[in-house]
Amino acid sequence: LAKTTQPISMDSYEGQEVNITCSHNNIATNDYITWYQQFPSQGPRFIIQGYKTKVTNEVASLFIPADRKSSTLSLPRVSLSDTAVYYCLVGPSGGSYIPTFGRGTSLIVHP
């Protein structure tokens, strides 16, 4: 199971782009990278998932370099409501994969 490392906390200001990087040096060939957002007293919410290169949806982009040993979640023009904890999970599709969480990155967006 690929271990992930993320910064514990980050600070930003409204309107800025925020990039959160996750290191996963021992990612396996069949592993996907998934990012979740969690607000206090709520379950994690799926943000984006990718395997390689770049994935973009209506809320974020995910950049994955060719060696796949890291990934970067990019949040464009953050607002106060983006203040949350962001988790990076790495694991295979389906099968017996059991999702386990690291400490995540606590993002605080300031006015």
Shortest distance, position 99 Cβ to another protein, whole Å: 5
User: Which amino acid is it at 22?
Assistant: C
| Residues found near another protein in the complex (CB under 8 A) | 32, 34, 36, 41-46, 49, 87, 93-94, 98-104
Shortest distance, position 66 Cβ to another protein, whole Å: 21
Measured CA to CA in angstroms, residue 13 lies from 57, 89, 111 at distances of 22, 26, 6
What is the DSSP code (8-state) at residue 80? G
User: 72-83 in b/e burial notation, b at 16+ Cβ within 10 A?
Assistant: bbbbeebeeebb
Cβ closer to another protein: 13 or 49? 49
Cβ closer to another protein: 13 or 56? 56
Cβ closer to another protein: 13 or 108? 108
Which residue, 33, 91, 88, 81, is CA-closest to 59? 81
Shortest distance, position 55 Cβ to another protein, whole Å: 13
Shortest distance, position 104 Cβ to another protein, whole Å: 6
